[in-house]
Chains A and B, each alone.
Chain A
Amino acid sequence: MRLLLLEDDPTLGEGLRDFLRSDGHLVDWCTTLAQARMHVSEPFDVWLLDWNLPDGSGVDWLRSLRAKGLTVPAIVLTARDLLSERIQGLDSGADDFLVKPFAPEELSARLRVMARRLAGSAQRKSIGPVEVDLNTKAVWLDGQRVELTAREWAILEALVLRAGRIVSVSDLEALVCGFDSELASNSLQVHVFKLRHKLGKRLIETVRGMGYRVPLH
Chain B
Amino acid sequence: MHPVRLPSIRRRVTRTLLLISLLWGLLVTAVVWAVLEHEIDELMDHHLRISAEVLHSVLAPAHQQGADTRLPKSESEYEEHLIWQVIDTRTGQVQSRSERAPPQALLHTLEKSPRASPDGQWRVITLGFRKDPSHFLLVGQSAKERQGARDEAVAYTLIGALLMGALATLVLHLLVGRELRPLAALSSAVKRYDPLRPETAPQAPHRAELEPMAQAITELGQRLSLRIMSERAFTAHAAHALRTPLAGIDAQLAVALKEAPAGLQPRLLRTREAAHRLSRVMQALLTMFRSGSEPKRQKVNLAHLLQPWTCDTLHIALGDIPPLDVDPDLLAAVMMNLLDNARQHGATQVQITSFTTGDGQQHLRLHDDGTGCTEEVLARLRQALHNNDYSPASGLKGMGLMLADLVMHAHGGKVTLPAADQGFCIELNWPAHANAAPNNTPSSVPTHA
Contacts and interface: CB of A to CB of B under 8 A. Distances in A.
Contacts of A99: 243
B244 A19 contact: no
B336 to A, nearest CB: 15
Interface stretch (B66-74, B83-91, B245-253, B381-389): B245-253
Nearest to B282: A101
Given A19-B258, A22-B258, A101-B279, A11 B252 contact: yes
A105 interface: yes
B240 interface: yes
Contacts of B244: 9, 12, 79, 100-101
B236 interface: yes
A71 to B, nearest CB: 27
B240 A22 contact: no
Contact of A22 (B243, B248, B253, B255): B255
Given A22-B258, A101-B243, A105-B254, A15 B248 contact: yes
B251 A19 contact: yes
Given A12-B247, A101-B247, A101-B279, A52 B254 contact: no
Contact of B254 (A9, A80, A103): A103
Interface in A71-115: 77, 79-81, 99-105
B258 A102 contact: no
A42 interface: no
Given A79-B239, A101-B246, A14 B252 contact: yes
B354 to A, nearest CB: 29
The CB with the most chain B CB atoms within 10 A, among A79, A99, A101, is that of A101
Contacts of B275: 101
Contact of A100 (B236, B246, B258): B246
Interface in A35-81: 52, 77, 79-81
A198 B377 CA distance: 76
Given A9-B248, A11-B248, A100 B243 contact: yes
B243 to A, nearest CB: 4
A163 B208 CA distance: 76
A88 to B, nearest CB: 13
Contact of A19 (B240, B254, B279): B254
Contacts of B246: 100-101
Nearest to B244: A9
A16 interface: yes
A12 B240 contact: no
Contacts of B242: 79
A104 to B, nearest CB: 5
A19 B255 contact: yes
A123 to B, nearest CB: 23
A100 B245 CA distance: 9
A102 B247 contact: yes
Interface string B253-270: 111001100000000000
The CB with the most chain A CB atoms within 10 A, among B239, B255, B259, B279, is that of B255
A18 interface: yes
A105 B251 CA distance: 9
Contacts of B249: 11, 15, 101
B329 to A, nearest CB: 11
The CB with the most chain A CB atoms within 10 A, among B245, B246, B247, B279, is that of B247
B243 A79 contact: yes
Nearest to A98: B247
A15 B251 contact: yes
A14 B275 CA distance: 18
Contact of B251 (A52, A79, A80, A104): A104
Nearest to B251: A15
Contacts of B248: 9-15
A105 B253 CA distance: 11
Contacts of B254: 15, 19, 103-105
Contacts of A10: 248
Contact of B255 (A15, A81, A102): A15
A15 B282 CA distance: 21
Nearest to A11: B248
A80 B239 contact: yes
A52 B255 CA distance: 24
A103 B258 CA distance: 14
Contacts of A79: 236, 239-240, 242-244
Interface in B281-320: 282, 286
Given A22-B258, A101-B244, 17 more contacts: A9-B247, A10-B248, A15-B249, A15-B250, A19-B251, A19-B258, A77-B247, A79-B240, A80-B236, A100-B244, A100-B247, A101-B246, A101-B249, A101-B250, A102-B250, A103-B250, A104-B251
- The 3 lowest CB-CB distance pairs between A and B, nearest first, are A15-B251, A11-B248, A12-B248
9 contacts: A9-B244, A11-B248, A15-B251, A19-B255, A19-B258, A79-B236, A80-B239, A81-B286, A104-B254
